[in-house]
Structure 1
Amino acid sequence: MLTREDIFKHIKENYGTLPDYPWGKFPEYAALRHESSEKWYGLIMNVLPEKLGLDGNEEIDVLNLKCPPEISDSIRNGKKILPGYHMDKEHWISLVLERTDPKGEIYNLIEQSFNLTK
């Protein structure tokens, strides 16, 4: 299982960015932004599973990433990769971190999102 701390370490090492916490009402929501434009390439949120149509009562971490529509439809599986929560569902996906493996898959999707949002 990949954690938000693993992702923060990865983005710092590979993109030179640190998480940003823009919402006082949601202090755990971490935006991943380009330094130059401040555009998001990712967003980590802790949400209740029911918000995503999943079972469970405890908050889970999800990572929203931008993804081309021609790819997002084929990788969404309804359990670990879902339509983007609180985002354009055609162009964004949500990854349930506790259910997603291996690291390489997520890191490749982060890189894709980083490049799509430049």
Structure 2
Amino acid sequence: MVMEAFSEIFANQKLQPAKLPAAGFTKKGRHWRYQTLLPTSGFLLTVTIGEAGQVLTQVIDLATQSPYTLHLQPQVRGEFAGTVKAEVTAVLQQIVAQAYADQRFQAPQTQRLIAHVQQTYGDELEFLWPKAPFTGVLRHAASQKWYGLVARLDQAKLAQTLPTKEVEILNLHATPAQVTALVNHQQYFPAWHMNKQHWLTVILNDQVADTTLFELLAASYQLANQS
């Protein structure tokens, strides 16, 4: 069973059943099943996804044909159990990458932005801070510098004139001249949590058209690749 040790892997993720066959799953009645041998232990890992999306795992010691559960303890003790847990975690993370869609961001413009980034730059949001699961960064593959930051926050943090409301935002890298010209506290705001001379914030609520947003993102991408 997927217990607390693995619950974070599936947090904010939505199953895409059509992608399960390509991820190595086979249909067994109303359930989907995936099996693999863990490389270090040689144990057999079975991952079962139920009709309602519930995920179960089972690790079998093939030498004894008995379940292995030490890796599921709240605090894993011992190098071997830690290795088993790490290998199960890696398999589950791969399954999520192949057959789930991230649901952290719900705004239509945010979803279009993420799709645009994937198609244009081949990049994915990186979630670097466990205590900030709704803040992800876009990193330039060549320079390893950020060219965007997507987050959920209270819009009142952007301007005192805005009512309290959770929104999704994009931070963009820009030249100081661009920041000065664009920031108007309506569509464009001083950068949230970043250098306000070189970054600005846009609320992803369609107040800025996609074409304009993607042009600003392209400029931010180019700035991130400059030395």
TM-score, normalisation: structure 1: 0.92
Shift of 1:115: 0.2
SS of 1:70's partner is helix
**Match for residue 37 of structure 2?**
none
The higher relative CO (CA closer than 8 Å, separation ≥ 6) is in: 1
Amino acid in the other structure paired with 1:108? E
Which of 154, 161, 167 aligns to 1:60? It is 167
Structure 1 counterpart of 2:180: 73
Letter in structure 1 aligned against 2:216: L
Q: Distance in 2 between matches of 1:93 and 1:102?
A: 16
For 1:12-58, what per-residue CA distance to the aligned partner results, in whole angstroms no more than 9, with x for missing partners?
11111111111111111111111233311000111111211242222
| 2:192–2:200 CA contact under 8 A, matched in 1 | yes
8 Å CA contact retained: 2:156, 2:165: no
Give matches, 1:27-106, under 5 Å: 27-53=133-159, 54-106=161-213
**% identical aligned pairs:** 28
Shift of 1:99: 4.8
Please identify the structure whose Cα radius of gyration is greater: 2
- State the partner residue of 1:19: 125
Displacement after TM superposition at 1:4 (Å): 1.5
- The two structures, once aligned, show a CA RMSD in angstroms of 1.5
CA deviation vs aligned residue, 1:82-109 (integer Å, no higher than 9, x gap): 1111111000000011153311100000
What is the rounded CA distance, in whole Å, between the counterparts of 1:46 and 1:28 in structure 2?
Answer: 6
Take 2:158 and 2:146, find their aligned partners in 1: how far apart are those partners?
21
Q: CA deviation at 1:110?
A: 0.2
For structure 2, list consecutive stretches of 5 or more residues without a partner in the other structure: 1-106
Query: Which secondary structure does the structure 1 equivalent of 2:192 belong to?
Result: coil
Q: What letter is aligned with 1:22?
A: L
Cα distance in 1 for partners of 2:196, 2:208 equals 22
Distance 1:99 1:10, change over 3 A: closer
**Whole-Å Cα distance in 2 between the matches of residues 110 and 24 of structure 1?**
26
Q: After superposing the two structures, state which structure 1 stretch, 1-10 or 21-30, moved more.
A: 1-10
Task: In structure 2, give the amino acid aligned to 1:68.
Answer: T
Given that 2:125 and 2:138 are in contact with CA atoms closer than 8 Å, whether structure 1 keeps it comes out as yes
Greater alpha carbon shift after TM alignment, 50-59 vs 20-29: 50-59
Question: Could you state the TM-score of these two structures normalised by the residue count of structure 2?
Answer: 0.49
Gaps of 5+ in 1: none
